[in-house]
């Protein structure tokens, strides 16, 4: 069996690789930083959860501060940020992306 991998995007910050293109990271980073990261990447794999766009979701009480921050940061502006991305870039689904990749030259990991 072959599994095709579409890795999530990273950028280097102070020598550490950081995710920028989905979920909480997308909500946390300002559009002014996301835009150049999206532009300089050869491709961008992004992902979202429905909750990433629900600013009115109830806040779970008793969460540790780190989990609370990660779960709720940037909810109010996430939908407008996504709307800007959709206007600034052309997107495709995984089938379309897969058809544009030379899989014969892709690395193979044997499990």
Tens digits of residue pLDDT in 5-56: 888 899 998 999 998 988 888 999 999 999 999 999 988 998 899 999 999 9
What is the span of the domain harbouring residue 75?
A: 10-97
Determine the length of the chain.
111
Quote the pLDDT of residue 43. 85
Burial 1-34 (b: 16+ CB within 10 A, else e): eeeeeeeebebeeeeeeebbbbbbbbbbbeeeeb
In a domain, 16, yes or no: yes
Quote the pLDDT of residue 47. 87
Helix, strand or coil, per DSSP, at residue 58: coil
- The CA-CA-CA angle for residues 71, 75, 81, to 5°, reads 130
In the chain, the number of structural domains is 1
pLDDT confidence tier of residue 107, bands split at 50, 70 and 90: confident
Across the chain, what does the average pLDDT equal? 91
């Amino acid at each position: 069996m072959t599994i095709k991998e579409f890795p999530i995007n990273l950028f280097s910050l102070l020598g550490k690789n950081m995710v920028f293109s989905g979920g909480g990271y997308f909500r946390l980073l300002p559009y002014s930083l996301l835009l150049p990261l999206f532009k300089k990447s050869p491709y961008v794999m992004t992902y979202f959860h429905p909750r990433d766009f629900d600013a009115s979701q109830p806040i779970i009480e008793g969460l540790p501060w780190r989990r609370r921050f990660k779960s709720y940061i940037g909810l109010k502006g996430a939908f407008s940020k996504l709307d800007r991305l959709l206007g600034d870039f052309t997107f495709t689904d995984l089938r379309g992306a897969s058809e544009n990749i030379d899989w014969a030259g892709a690395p193979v990991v044997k499990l």
